[in-house]
Amino acid sequence: MGRKVFEKMTARDAVDWTTLVIWYVHNGVEDKALGCLVEMVRLDQVDIQPNFRMTEGGLQACGNRDDIALDLKPNNATLVTVLTACSSLAGLHNGESINQFIHEQGIYMNVSLATALVDMYAKCRKINRAKQLFDLREERDAISWNVMIFAYGMHGDAVAAFEIFQLMENLRGQILSLFWDFALPACVQSY
């Protein structure tokens, strides 16, 4: 349904493409979401690294190169959503390519985008890289902390999960109830 509506549009901007990417991720078709990013970048004539491999079906799902395009530069919302797809697919190679693209294009890495990268690396079994990115960020929100706590719990490291929790508690000075929803299950899951 979402794709049919998208294909009928005569002009598509970054918001339209991001909406389609979100639709694909929400409907469990992550490979097509990744393909949309590739096609979006190609239509905007920004060179993406040749090692960014997508399925042919994913590329075809996003329209033709003859599309009428307005502003097609991927924004933070697009990239966060595509990194979510990489996390779901445990697509380290694609996630690293997106990370490289972010840096090469000079895209501002807000808290949501940085957290999506941390989550992607953690779910792709690169917990040290996830922690490294987490540590580089001066600005963190509740979701950032929860992602790192859950990452350690997911990898069976209850001690590290609790250490991150304590660090958060010391830096924040208070614990929000939301943290208990993630910290406790992360520790329990690791046993």
pLDDT per residue over 21-80, tens digit each? 888 888 888 888 888 888 887 776 443 333 333 333 333 333 333 333 345 677 788 888
One domain, residues 125 and 175: yes
pLDDT per residue over 95-140, tens digit each? 888 889 888 888 899 999 999 999 999 999 999 999 999 999 888 8
pLDDT greater at residue 84 or residue 113: 113
Q: Which segments within the chain are labelled E, that is strand?
A: 11-12, 68-69
Residue after which a domain boundary falls, among 69, 85, 107: 107
Return the SS3 of 68: strand
Residue after which a domain boundary falls, among 107, 139, 159: 107
Residue 12 phi/psi, 5-degree rounding, is -125, 130
DSSP string for 109-123: --HHHHHHHHHHHHH
Q: Residue 157 pLDDT > 80, yes or no?
A: yes
Which residues, listed in sequence order, are joined to residue 68 by a DSSP beta bridge?
11
- Flag the least confident range among 21-25, 55-59, 149-153, 160-164: 55-59
| pTM, entire model | 0.70
Residue after which a domain boundary falls, among 49, 82, 107: 107
pLDDT of 185 reads 72
